[in-house]
Amino acid sequence: MSSRTQAAGLGAVELPLDVASIRADFPILRRTVRGGEPLVYLDTGATSQKPRAVLDAEREFYEQHNAAVHRGAHQLAEEATDAYEAARGAVARFVGAQFDEIVFTKNATEAINLVAYAMSNAATAGEAAQRFVVGPGRRIVVTEMEHHANLVPWQQLAQRTGAELAWLPLTDDGRLDLTDLDRVVDERTAVVAFVHQSNILGTVNPVDVIAARAAAVGALTVLDACQSVPHQPVHLPSLGVDFATFSGHKMLGPTGIGVLWGRPHLLATMPPFLSGGSMIENVTMAATTFAPPPQRFEAGSPPVAQAVGLHAAVEYLERLGMPSVAAHEEVLTAATLVGLQEIPGVRIIGPADTVERGGAVSFIVDGIHPHDVGQVLDDRGIAVRVGHHCAWPVCRRYGVPATTRASFGVYNDLADVDALVAGVRAAQSFFGVAS
Amino acid sequence: MNLESMYQEIILDHYRRPTHAGLREPFEAQVHHINPTCGDEVTLRVHLEGADGGTADERTDAGSVVVADVSYEAQGCSISQASTSVMADLVVGERLDTALRLHGEFVELMQSRGKLERDHESMEESLGDAVAFTGVAQYPARVKCALLGWMALKDAAAAALEHHGTPARVGNEETV
C-alpha cells in the first residue's frame, strides 16, 4: 500500500476510502488500454464508471421484473412500478428531499430545459402558472461559469420570450465575482440559474448568498448540481434554491437518467414541458387535465431500468458515506494541485487551493495544446478530458483555447495522481518544452 | 508506444515552423472554421489567379484557375496547426482542381482508420508530406483536427470561385 499513499509533495497520506476494495467493484478498471497500459481513469467529471452492483441491478430488473410501469394490473407491472418508485424514494432520501419532489428525466440537460420550457409555456397556462411567466422587461440571470447545459436553455428562453439575459462575471482566480450581485439580480429578475460546483474550474459557489438575493427580489432559482451531488453530502432543501438538477451517470449510475428536484408548491403550479401518456389526469378529444407532480413532468415511458440502476448507485455511495467521499476526493485534489503546480510551466485554471472547490482540476501546460497533452497522457493509459468542457465562455474568459482536466471519483487514489503528474512531465519532455 | 506514429517529425516541424502563416492580401474569400468539440479555430483566405498567369476574373471552373495564395491565422493543437501548414504547402501554386483532388484524397486517408487499400507510395506521390498524418487516422477524435484547415480551404475555394463567377454572370445579364 505504501506506493499508493505517496503523492507528489504530500508525503504519506491516509486516504479516507479503501480504494483497493472499491476498485474490485468496478470491472472496467481492470482493463488495459493503448497496447497494455493499465487504465488510469481521471474523467469522472465527464462520466463516472459503474460498480457491478449497478450493472447487476439493471440486469436483475430486466431478467425478473420488467414491465411497463404505472399501467396494467399484472404482477410484473406491480413489481416494475414498485422498483421505479423505490428508486425515486432512494434518490429523494439521498438529497434530503421528499418523494414527490423528485422528477426523473432523460438527463440533467433535459431537467434544466424542463424548467425553461415550463416558463415559456406559463404565458398560456392560466392564472396558476403566473409565477413562471417571463417576457419583455424581465431578466434571466446566469453566471459566466455555466456548463452549456445551464446557459443555452436560458439564452433560448430569453430569445423566445423577449426577456433579457444577464450574467454574473468571474474573478481572475476562478470564482464568481459577486461585487455587483444586487445590480445584476435586480427587481426585474424572474429566474437565476447557476452552478453549485463548476465542471471546469472546480469552484464551489456560495449558493446561500445568491439564493438569498434571488429570494429578496422574488426570483426563482435553478441550481445545476451535477458536479456536487455525486461528490459531497448535499441536502437540497437547505440550500435555499427552488429547483436543482443532477444526472445519474456522473454518480456511478447509468446513462439515460437525470433528476429534477423542485419545491413542492412550485412543482404543483408549474405547467408541463413534454406532454403525452403517463402525465395526464383526464383526457377528452378536446382537452386534457394533468396529473399532479412528479407524474406531470414524466411524459411517456420513463427510464425504469436506469432508475433501478441509479437506486443501486445511490446505495453504493451511501455505504461509502458522502462525507468520506468528499474527504477522499479533497485529498486527491490537494495532491493534484500541489503536484501540478510544482511543474514549471503548468498553470491551474480555477482556484489554486482546496478552499471551496471540488475535484475537477483544469490546467494549462505552456507551449503544449491541451489536445497534445491529452494525447501523451492517453498513450500512458491516463484518461483525462481535453477541450472547452462545454463551458466555452470560461475558456474565453481566461484567454485559453481549451484546458486539460483531471477529475476524480471514489475509485481513484494517489497513485493515479502520481501517474498524472509524471504524464504531464513526459508531455513536456516529448514536445521539448521541459525547463 | 504509439506517440511517434502520430507525431511524425514532419508534423512537429510544421507545428513549430508553420508555412504560409499569417493573413495576406489580395484574397477573394475568407472563411472562419471552428472545431466545436475542442475550440480549435482557423481563419483562412484564398487568392486565385488565372491558370495562364492573368487575373481570374471571368473564370469560374476549378480547372482554369490556380491557387495563388493560401494565408491563415489558426489556433489549435499541433495536429491542426501542422496539417494546415502542410496543406498550404501542397496547394499553393497548384491548379484549383488539383487542390480539390488532394483535398478528397486527404479526407479519404483521414477517414480510413489507417486501413486504406491504396499503397503508401502512390499516396505519398500525390499527398507528399500529408501522408505523415496517416497515424492520426487511427485516432478518430483527432481526425477533425487534421481536417480543420483542409475543410476551410474547400469552403474558401468555393466562395472564391463564386466571387469570380457571380459578378461575371451578373455583368453579362446586365448587358443583355
Task: Give me the domain span that covers residue B84.
Answer: 3-167
pLDDT for position A322 = 98
Measured between CA atoms, the residue of chain A closest to residue B4 is A430
| Domain identity same for A222 and A284 | yes
* B107-to-B29, B100, B137, B147 alpha-carbon distances in Å: 22, 11, 10, 7
pLDDT tens sequence across A12-59 = 678 999 999 999 999 999 999 998 999 999 999 999 999 999 999 999
Contact of A175 with A348, CB cutoff 8 Å: no
Contact A379 B78 (CB under 8 A): no
Q: Check if B6 contacts A (Cβ < 8 Å).
A: yes
Peptide bond into A302 cis (omega under 30): no
Please indicate, yes or no, if residue B174 is contained in any of the structural domains.
Answer: no
DSSP strands (E only) in A306-384: 346-349, 360-365, 382-383
Which of A274, A291, A318 lies at the terminal end of a domain, its last residue?
A: A318
| Domain identity same for A89 and A181 | yes
Please indicate, yes or no, if residue B38 is contained in any of the structural domains.
Answer: yes
pLDDT for position A198 = 98
Report, as an integer, the average pLDDT of A219-230. Answer: 98
Please indicate, yes or no, if residue A154 is contained in any of the structural domains.
Answer: yes
Which of A266, A378, A256 lies closest to A310, judged by CA? A256
| Domain identity same for A268 and A335 | no
Please indicate, yes or no, if residue B36 is contained in any of the structural domains.
Answer: yes
Lowest mean pLDDT among A73-82, A138-147, A199-208, B32-41: B32-41
Please indicate, yes or no, if residue A61 is contained in any of the structural domains.
Answer: no
Report, as an integer, the average pLDDT of A386-406. Answer: 93
Q: Check if B38 contacts A (Cβ < 8 Å).
A: yes
| Domain identity same for A391 and A269 | no
Report, as an integer, the average pLDDT of A179-203. Answer: 98
Which of A301, A318, A335 lies at the terminal end of a domain, its last residue?
A: A318
Chain A residues with CB-CB distance to B3 below 8 A: 375-376, 379, 430
Least CB–CB distance from A35: residue in B2, B39, B76:
B2
CA distance A41 to B100: 42
**Mutation site, B3, B9, B81, interface A, largest A CB count within 10 A:** B3
A270 φ, ψ to 5°?
A: -75, 130
- For cell 496547394, the residue is B91
pLDDT for position B54 = 63
| Domain identity same for A248 and A309 | yes
The one-letter code for the residue type at A13 is: V
Which of A285, A300, A318 lies at the terminal end of a domain, its last residue?
A: A318
CATH of the domain at A409: 3.90.1150.10
Interface confidence, given as ipTM, is 0.84
Say whether pLDDT at A245 is over 70. Answer: yes
| Domain identity same for A175 and A267 | yes
Lowest mean pLDDT among A107-121, A190-204, B105-119, B142-156: B105-119
Give me chain A's average pLDDT, please: 95
Please indicate, yes or no, if residue A404 is contained in any of the structural domains.
Answer: yes
Distance from the Cα of B101 to chain A's closest Cα (Å) equals: 29
Say whether pLDDT at B57 is over 70. Answer: no
Cell numbers that stand for A236 in this block = 437540497
CATH of the domain at A305: 3.40.640.10
pLDDT tens sequence across B145-166 = 999 999 999 999 999 988 765 4
Please indicate, yes or no, if residue A55 is contained in any of the structural domains.
Answer: no
Measured between CA atoms, the residue of chain A closest to residue B77 is A369
Please indicate, yes or no, if residue A410 is contained in any of the structural domains.
Answer: yes
Please indicate, yes or no, if residue B76 is contained in any of the structural domains.
Answer: yes
Report the SS3 class of residue B110: helix
Report, as an integer, the average pLDDT of A240-265. Answer: 98
CA distance B160 to B166: 10
pLDDT tens sequence across A146-179 = 999 999 999 999 999 999 999 999 999 999 999 9
Which of B54, B118, B65 lies closest to B92, judged by CA? B65
| Domain identity same for A331 and A379 | yes
Please indicate, yes or no, if residue A266 is contained in any of the structural domains.
Answer: yes
Please indicate, yes or no, if residue B145 is contained in any of the structural domains.
Answer: yes
pLDDT for position A64 = 98
Say whether pLDDT at A363 is over 90. Answer: yes
| Domain identity same for A281 and A191 | yes
| Domain identity same for A120 and A204 | yes
Say whether pLDDT at B138 is over 50. Answer: yes
| Domain identity same for A139 and A256 | yes
- Our count of domains for chain A comes to 2
Q: Check if B145 contacts A (Cβ < 8 Å).
A: yes
Q: What angle do the packed helices B140-175 and A370-379 form, to 10 degrees?
A: 150
Cell numbers that stand for A51 in this block = 460498480
Please indicate, yes or no, if residue A57 is contained in any of the structural domains.
Answer: no
Please indicate, yes or no, if residue A435 is contained in any of the structural domains.
Answer: no
Q: What is the pTM of this model?
A: 0.92
Interface of A with B (CB under 8 A): 34-35, 369-372, 375-376, 379, 386-388, 392, 395, 401-402, 430-431
Please indicate, yes or no, if residue B19 is contained in any of the structural domains.
Answer: yes
pLDDT for position A399 = 92
pLDDT for position B61 = 78
| Domain identity same for A9 and A138 | no
CATH of the domain at B28: 3.90.1010.10
- Our count of domains for chain B comes to 1
pLDDT for position B117 = 67
pLDDT tens sequence across A293-352 = 999 999 999 999 999 999 999 999 999 999 999 999 999 999 999 999 999 999 999 999
Which of B160, B136, B154, B138 lies closest to B146, judged by CA? B136
Active site residue A390: yes
Task: Give me the domain span that covers residue A161.
Answer: 66-318
CA distance A162 to B36: 27
| Domain identity same for A300 and A392 | no
Residues 53 to 82 of B: which have CB under 8 A from any A CB? 75-79
* A186-to-A83, A137, A218, A422 alpha-carbon distances in Å: 44, 11, 10, 48
pLDDT for position A8 = 47
CA distance A231 to A140: 28
